[in-house]
Each structure stands twice: as structure tokens, then as C-alpha cells.
């Protein structure tokens, strides 16, 4: 019921997926009500800090990019944000030597290990949560995302997500999770990002995927998985999309108590959903976790992984 931060400062380094540049990153303990703040070490003075909030998202092409009002940005934040959400870290300062979070192995697993090495401590302040009061939906091209209320006995986020690719190596996949630290670490955090070999050259000519490799992504050529050890889960693709969703939704600034349903979603539609949600002041409220009240919610059938009105 109380806010958390990490106990000790921890460090990691790696390359940026899109920049291809080596970057060092550290997580630092932070006081209550700080939230998640990125601080660029290569940018001087008051231009360096970037709040990890949905209204600071400036680009959602292939990753989520944040920027402050002085033009300082940091990209590919979604995997780290997912790890912070999954480990229920409310407050942390992230210092980084460049403009992109290191991709590590393409999942959130290395960041979870980093947080566990740092330790987690409670702070002497109550944890507020964003309670969804009525349904909000958005559409984007072939995708759709909805957030709706959950009952008062669930202070967590339920996610029901579908993906549908023409490529036979992926095809149609669906996944449901009632998000908790345990379920995130067990079922989601090790799922890696993925891409298609035939797209690599065009991406690199556009200045993207400069650091991508079989060490940090699942690579698909035609209908074949090129990674020597194959997949970590039979449905690793949809699990990674759930991971991205968790990270993007944590840019709400607090944990969400609600039910998310997504069909062919991505970073752009996740951010659009948060913007529409917070633009509707009657759709949500900020409340201490122990004061959640019952809201009429859909019934979740876990076996069929569908929300039934």
C-alpha cells in the first residue's frame, strides 16, 4: 500500500537498438512522489531531465521516445518502464549517457535482474493508483485499444491482447494476464522484441536498427526463426507485445486499476489511449489503493481470454 523505490544505486551498459551506440545507464533511489525521471548525463543543466509521462511522448515509430520542452529526448524506454511497472517501482532516477536506453537482450529480463540486485524499499507515503471509472476506446488503422473498469477486489491491471501477422512464424496469437510482480517475472519479462530480416536494410538506411542483432532480437526470415536457440515461449511474440503495452501504460505515471483490451496494438495506439483517457476527467480518478471502490466491470473469462460484457 506504500510507495517504493530501489535500495541501492545500480548500473548497466549496452548498445542502443536503433542508434547502435554504446550507452551507460544507472538507476538511483528517489523520494516519494518523484515518479520515474530520466536524466541525460551528456546534456548540460536544466535541459537534462525528462519525466517518464505519456504527455512527453514525441515519437512512437518502432519504439517509444520521450522528450522535455527543451528538446532533450530519450528513446526505447518501454522495456525499462515495463520492468519498473512489473517490479512495482514507483520512484527512481534513471541517469543515462546517451539518447537511447540500452536494448540488452531485447527483453525486460536484464532490467528486472538489475532492480532485484538493487533491492526494493518501501517509503513512508501511501501509493495512489489510477482507477478507471468508465470505458475509453481508441482506433488506429487496423488496431483497437480499450481500457475499462475492474472490480474493487483487483487493484492491478488486466491485459487481454491479440496480434495477427500474415507471416506463418507468428500468425494469430492471444494472451491474457492479471498483472502482478510474480506473473510479470514468470510470464512476460523474458519475451524479446522481434523483426523481419527483409526489413533490416530499409530500417538501417532510415537510421534505425543500427544495433539490432540475433543477440537482442528474434529475427524472422520468411517463415523461419533465425535465432540458434529458437523461442523462449511458443507465443513469445504476443508476450513481447504485452511487455511493450505494460511499459507504455506505465507512462500514466502510476499503476492503473483497470482492464486493457487490445487488438493489433502498438506504441502509437497505447499513447493515444492514455491521452484520450486523461482528457476525459470523468473516466478516471486518483485514489489510495485501500480506498478503491467497486465499478461495474466486464467479466473476464480467462480460459477464452476474452472480455464478456
Q: Which residues belong to the active site?
A: 267
* 262 and 143 Cβ atoms separated by less than 8 Å: yes
Q: What is the DSSP letter of 125?
A: E
* Cell numbers at 183, concatenated: 506473473
Q: For helices 109-118 and 78-86, what crossing angle results, to 10°?
A: 50
Relative to beta strand 256-263, strand 128-132 is parallel
Evaluate whether 109 touches 229 at the Cβ level (below 8 Å).
no
Which residue stretches of the chain are H helix? Answer: 78-86, 109-118, 181-187, 197-205, 236-249, 267-279
Measured between alpha carbons, how far is 228 from 40 in angstroms, rounded to an integer?
36
Phi, psi of 108, rounded to the nearest 5 degrees? -95, -5
Determine how many CB atoms are found less than 10 A away from the CB of residue 64: 28
Amino acid at each position: 500500500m506504500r510507495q517504493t523505490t530501489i535500495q541501492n544505486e545500480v548500473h548497466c551498459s549496452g548498445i542502443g537498438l536503433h542508434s547502435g551506440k554504446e550507452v551507460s545507464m544507472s538507476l538511483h533511489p528517489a523520494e516519494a512522489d518523484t515518479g520515474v525521471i530520466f536524466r541525460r548525463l551528456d546534456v548540460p543543466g536544466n535541459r537534462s531531465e525528462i519525466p517518464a509521462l505519456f504527455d512527453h511522448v514525441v515519437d512512437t515509430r518502432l519504439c517509444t521516445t520521450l522528450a522535455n520542452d527543451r528538446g532533450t529526448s530519450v528513446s526505447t524506454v518501454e522495456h525499462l518502464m515495463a520492468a519498473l511497472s512489473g517490479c512495482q517501482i514507483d520512484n527512481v532516477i534513471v541517469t543515462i549517457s546517451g539518447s537511447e536506453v540500452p536494448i540488452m537482450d531485447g527483453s525486460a529480463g536484464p532490467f528486472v535482474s538489475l532492480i532485484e540486485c538493487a533491492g526494493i524499499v518501501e517509503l513512508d507515503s501511501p501509493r495512489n493508483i489510477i482507477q478507471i471509472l468508465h470505458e475509453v476506446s481508441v482506433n488506429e488503422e487496423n488496431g483497437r485499444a480499450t481500457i475499462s473498469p475492474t472490480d474493487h477486489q483487483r487493484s492491478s491491471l488486466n491485459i487481454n491482447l491479440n496480434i495477427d501477422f500474415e507471416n506463418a512464424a507468428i500468425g494469430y496469437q492471444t494472451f491474457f494476464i492479471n498483472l502482478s510482480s510474480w506473473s510479470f517475472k514468470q510470464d512476460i519479462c523474458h519475451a524479446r522484441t522481434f523483426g523481419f530480416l527483409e526489413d533490416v536494410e530499409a530500417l538501417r538506411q532510415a537510421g534505425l536498427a543500427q544495433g539490432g542483432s540475433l543477440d537482442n532480437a528474434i529475427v524472422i526470415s520468411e517463415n523461419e526463426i533465425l535465432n540458434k536457440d529458437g523461442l523462449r515461449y511458443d507465443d513469445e511474440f504476443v508476450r513481447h507485445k504485452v511487455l511493450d503495452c505494460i511499459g507504455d501504460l506505465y507512462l500514466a505515471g502510476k499503476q492503473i486499476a483497470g482492464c486493457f483490451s487490445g487488438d493489433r496494438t502498438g506504441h502509437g495506439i497505447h499513447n493515444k489511449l492514455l491521452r484520450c483517457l486523461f482528457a476525459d476527467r470523468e473516466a478516471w480518478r486518483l485514489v489510495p489503493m485501500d480506498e478503491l471502490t467497486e465499478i461495474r466491470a466486464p467479466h473476464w473469462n480467462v480460459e477464452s481470454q476474452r472480455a464478456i460484457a
